[in-house]
Structure 1
Amino acid sequence: MKIVSTNIGDKKEIFWKKKKVITGIYKYPVNKPIFLDVEEVEGDEISDRKHHGGINQAVYAYSLKHYDYWKPLYPDLDWNFGMFGENLTIDNIDETKIHLGNTYKVGNAILEATLQRSPCFKLGIRFNNMKIVKQFWNSTMCGVYFKVIQTGTVQINDEFYQIKSCPENLTIADLLIRRKKEKGL
C-alpha cells in the first residue's frame, strides 16, 4: 500500500434541511507532508468530535481503487482526492483483508487499524446525493480508521509496511457489516 494523496479540510458551513451544519468533509489534496497526531491530522478540520477524530479515529484512509467504482456512478461530480473525507488516499486498501489491530509503519508514523467508516448524511451532502450513503453502507468499501501509535509525518509515495498482523480479529469489512446490522440497515 502506498499513499497517493494527503488530504486535509477546512471548516465549512452548509445548510441541510434548513439547518446550518458545520463540516470538515470537504477535504482537498496538499502537496506537502502532513503530521499525524494522537487524535487528529494536524491542520485538518474535525467539526463533529463526537463521531470523528479522537484516539481510535485519528486518521482516515480510503482506497484509490474504490474511486474507480464510484466515479461512473457519479460522473457529474468534480472528482479530486479527499472526496470521501479521507486524510490519506492509498493506492490499494482492501477492507476485507485488513484486520482490527493490524499495525503499519508509514513515513515516520506507526498506525493501527481500529474501525470502519460508518457513513452519515454529510457524505450525501458532499456527493450532492443522499443515495451514496445507502450505497456506501451496502458495500465493503468503507475505508479504514487508524489509531496513531507513534506520531509523525507522512507524504505522497510513502509505503505502508505491515509490522503486526492480527488474523484472529475481524476484518474492517466485517466491522462494517456488524455495524450495519446493529443499526438495522
Structure 2
Amino acid sequence: MANVLSLQVGRAKTYGNAQSKDFLDKEWHSASFKEVSKTPLFARFIGLDGDEVADTTHHGGIHKAIFANSYENYAYWASFLGVEHLPFGALAENLTITGLHERSVMLGDVHQIGTAILQVSQPRKPCWKISRRWNHTAFTNEIFTSGLTGWYYKVLQEGVIGLGDEIKVVTQKNAHVTILEANEAFREPEKYRSVLETILEIPSLATSYKESIIKRLKNESDLSYMKTQ
C-alpha cells in the first residue's frame, strides 16, 4: 500500500552572500527549504496551499503543481551526502511517499490522494539549487545520473491531502513508461530513442515537456540548469 508519509510546503526566500562569487556561498533565491505540515493541505490546480515557487520560468505551473519523492531513496541520498539522517522534504518535495518509486510510477498515471485526483505529468529535472540546498556540488548530477528524480503531478481534481492518506492508482496508461525509464532515456537518448518517441505519444503530457524530449532527440538540449560550477 502506498501512503503519504509527509507533506511539505515552503516560501521563497533569499540565501547566501550577494558579494560572493563562490557557488556554495553566493546569493540565491529558492523555496526548496520546505517545512512539514502537520495539518491537511488543499491541493489546487497551481499547487498546495502555502507553497511557493521562486523560479516560475522553470518550476511551478499546472503541469508541475505538486512535486513527489519516494522515501525509498532517502537512505541512498543520506549515504551520498554523508549524513546520518535526512529530514522530510530533503529533496524539496511536497509529498514524501512510501510504497511508490520511480521504477513503478508511470507517466500519465492517475492517482487519488485524499480527495484530490492527480496525474503524473513528468519527472523532476534536477537543477543546481538542490546542490546549493545541501552544499554539495555533485548532488544535482547524481540525481540526474541515478534517475531517482521524483515526479511531478498535475491536479485534475482539487481536494484535500493529509498525512497518512492512501495513494490509490485510478488508472495506468498503456504506454507503460516509468519515471525511471523516462529519466534513463533522457540521459542516453541514442540508446533509448524508442522510449523517448513513446513518451511523445502520451497525450496528457505538457507541450513543454515534449519539446524538451524533441530537443534531446535532436541533440539540442540545454542542460545548463544543472550547472554547479
- Whether TM-score is above 0.5 comes out as yes
Aligned to 2:28: 21
1:166 aligned onto 2:167: no
Distance 1:184 1:173 in 2: 21
Distance 1:77 1:121 in 2: 23
Distance 1:152 1:20 in 2: 36
**Which of 90-99 and 136-145 deviates more?**
90-99
SS of 2:48's partner is coil
Supply the RMSD in Å over aligned alpha carbons. Answer: 1.9
Do the aligned partners of residues 125 and 132 (structure 1) sit closer, same or farther apart at CA in structure 2, a change above 3 Å counting? same
Unaligned regions of 5+ residues in structure 2, if any?
189-215, 224-229
1:122 aligned onto 2:123: no
Q: Matched residues, percent identical?
A: 30
Q: Which has the higher contact order (CA 8 A, sep 6+)?
A: 1
Whether the aligned pair in 2 keeps the contact of 1:93 and 1:143 (CA below 8 Å) is no
| Larger strand percent | 1
**Which of 112-121 and 27-36 deviates more?**
27-36
Q: 1:149 aligns with which of 140, 145, 156?
A: 156
Aligned to 1:102: 109
Aligned to 2:3: 2
| Larger helix percent | 2
| Number of equivalent positions | 185
Q: Which amino acid aligns with 1:163?
A: V
Distance 2:137 2:56 in 1: 22
SS of 1:71's partner is helix
Aligned to 2:195: none
Distance 1:98 1:79 in 2: 23
Aligned to 2:69: 62
Superposed CA offset, 1:97-123 (max 9, x none): 221111011100000001101101100
SS of 1:123's partner is helix
SS of 2:182's partner is helix
SS of 1:156's partner is coil
Distance 1:159 1:148 in 2: 17
